[in-house]
Structure 1
Amino acid sequence: MSTVYNFSAGPGVLPAPVIKQIQKELTSFHGSGMSILEISHRSTLFENVIDNAKQDLKDLMQVPDNYQILFFQGGGTGQFAAAPMNLASKHHRLALLDSGHWASKAHDEAIKLGYQVDVLDSTKSEHYHELPHLSLTFNQKNDDYLHVTINNTIEGTTYHQINNPTHLPLVGDMSSNFLAERYSVKDFGMIFAGAQKNLGPAGVTIVIVRDDLLKKVPKIPSILDYSLFAKKNSLYNTPPVFSIYAAGLVLKWLKKQGGVDVMESHNRKQSKMMYDFLDQSKLFRNDVKPSDRSLTNTIFTTGDQKLDLQVAKEATQHGLMSIKGHRSVGGLRASFYNAMPTAGVQSLIDFLHDFEKKH
């Protein structure tokens, strides 16, 4: 096996230059004689790391000055609890579009914490093969915000354009297409994203939140408090130092590539290659509504569970890793994150084409 391509939905592929830089600096970070794994989070060395990461992210996403960039632990799942605890303090109620597995998880977590959730629309009966949309009859008066999963990693759908006709702050779970597609931060009250899908290793979650939504909330765990983390520059407790450092390197790599718009063009090209193959294939298919298809997570199947498993097994033998679908839905999935080279996508298509000829 000469070349390996990682199509995992997360932790996902990292840029090769970033891996090499981590390797180079691992034993002595910036000539300190200490590894990044052991430097103090209160040191000037790490203050520079976190401040540079914030500035690079601000530049890449064009984050306005009236937003805070925060670094949390607990993954995107942790924000299913943090978001309502911070933002639904007035009515203890939120609205949600049920677009798939992770939207459903956010719904259940809010309910468990005692919040009321108004599901405005759901495409569960359509197996989430298309996206739900806002109801024109939606009564907004008693909801504190609207939760939307921007990219559905498991179902392979994406809101490519944001339409929020309500007065509610929009909370966007952008975990699996963060920095892979251009969105205007001004359209959101808050954005969050677990790093391990498209930004860096697991361990850190980015939160971008508008200043007017920051407020002192009684009886909220300090580890989830947006206002406190903004005040402490995300250093209320020991942060995930290595994960922030690695994410910072990826942000600098993204700048060198030309930024988010260049990445989006790259991702559109690669996803089109894959969808064009699937649309003409006599063995494989993608059931997602074409206008809702994800650029980063392509879902496909033969329609036969045993044959799907055989595809995943043989792909692994060819160095095409982790194309087995999520355990909740089965099938097959290939994730094309920013660091995936076009050669990897072409190798996968060539393998699937050869498999199809044999079957």
Structure 2
Amino acid sequence: MIRTGLIGFGLGGTAFHAPLIAAVEGLVLAAVGTSRGEAVAAAYPGVPAISPAALIADPAIDLVVISTPNATHFELAQAALRAGKHVVVDKPLTPSASQAEALIALAEAGERLLVPFHNRRWDSDFLAVRALVESGRLGEIALFEAHWDRFRPDLAQAWKEAPDAGAGQLLDLGSHMIDQMLVLFGMPDAVDADLARQRSGSQVDDYFALTFHYGDRRAVLASSRLIAAPRPRFGLHGHGGSFVKYGLDPQEAALRGGGSVHDPAHGLEDPALHGRLTLPDGTVETLASARGDYRQFYAGVVAAIRDGAGPPVLASDALAGLRLMDAARQSAEDGRRIRLC
């Protein structure tokens, strides 16, 4: 068994990491680095709640999972790697590309795993999109669109939206959206970006619209906290037709609501949200989404540690995403297209 220590027992730790660690064969939740001892005891009797420093220093811990505020990711991951641990870090891997580069170098030098938690690769909706792209049914894809919107006009707690906290919509949701784009199409040639602070008093970006160039293909990623009516989650348009998909994968809502990954319906999307493929002759087909399953991420971590398999997500993928976000910020600030290669 891979003895796993989880640092952080807020939303990410309680709704995502702890339930997945407990559900995946080969992992055991050995300790939680948090001050919320009563919450840990109630949810996982017998699992000690200790300080993050004590967890990292414990020689019995093999894997450290970091689910803490973004600004703490680098320091905690650095300490865990120096202690000889394998490390999983919630997105974003770090707030900056330079910090990610330093962690990758440290992990390589110590022959330890550094794995970004890009769990959205196992969303039901993204699995549907990926399967369609790989099938070639759309032919050459001219336009890929992804929207991830929320209606949250009020600011969150101040510490969550401070400029020095690694906050903002681009780092928050953009990390996942850019990662999904990279999985589908690889690195783009250029980016045009627009970022804004649209809510009163906001100190960080709460809106973005990014256009990535792949030769003649365009990938458009957009997100806002001031949209109450849903836009399509995904749209793909090519010579072989169009695919439009509404709705988000159900796993987060289920986990946040106290649902179990062992529920037979877990990860299954409402059929009403299945995407629709429109062919050139006007024929419309409904394409069922596959079951989403974030457990596959941690199963991949187990295989990487025990069997030497490749990690489920490469740290270099997260670094590529951070570099694209840096280029997007530069594009928005300068008001010009940024060439990437």
TM-score normalised per structure 1: 0.30
Q: Taking CA–CA contacts closer than 8 Å with sequence separation of 6 or more, which of the two structures ends up with the larger relative contact order?
A: 1
TM-score normalised per structure 2: 0.32
